[in-house]
Amino acid sequence: MSKLPDKEPLLRVVPMPADAYQHGDIFGGWIMAQVDIAGGVLAARRAQGRVATVAVNSFQFRQPVFIGDVLSFYADIVRVGNTSITVYVEVYAQRNPRDIETVKVTEATLTYVAIDATGRPRPVPRA
């Protein structure tokens, strides 16, 4: 069993029945979308503006996610280029409210590009 990282999550969400296959496992694509949102929040903060996803560098589903799990998404910047930001995202599920169990369910690395108002790449401000 895991424990939550000692920092604020970028996103918390509870998957609902509409997000699941007929047997209660959550769609992988739904989880991917939430990971992209969480990573994009951090990338946009660092870019001080609009970003777009340009690559999913790696994505690993470690455990299934179920209806009613409380998912917490944590992210760290792993690289900043001239116009790009690479972000590592970890997802933890907390389940069984009577005796909470925490498990790491997903991890991924995505790359975002900072874009201007016309959608063209722009430099990432220096920290």
CA distance 73 to 5: 10
The DSSP 8-state label assigned to residue 33 in this structure reads H
The topology under which CATH files domain 11-114 is: Thiol Ester Dehydrase; Chain A (3.10.129)
* Whole-angstrom distance, CA of residue 31 vs CA of residue 37: 10
Q: What's the pLDDT at 97?
A: 86
pLDDT reported for residue 11: 97
Going by C-beta distance under 8 Å and a sequence separation of 6 or more, which residues neighbour residue 74? 4, 5, 7, 9, 10, 38, 89, 90, 91, 92
Q: Is residue 80 a contact partner of residue 46, using CB atoms and an 8 Å limit?
A: yes
Sketch the domain layout of the chain as residue ranges.
Answer: 11-114
Q: Mind listing the pLDDT tens digit of every residue in the chain (127 residues)?
A: 789 999 999 999 999 999 999 988 999 999 999 999 999 999 999 999 999 999 999 999 999 999 999 999 999 999 999 999 999 999 999 999 899 999 999 999 999 999 999 999 999 999 7
Please report the pLDDT score of residue 1 as a whole number. 76
In the chain, the amino acid numbered 85 is I
- Give me the pLDDT at residue 55, please: 98
Do residues 116 and 50 make contact, with C-beta atoms less than 8 angstroms apart?
yes
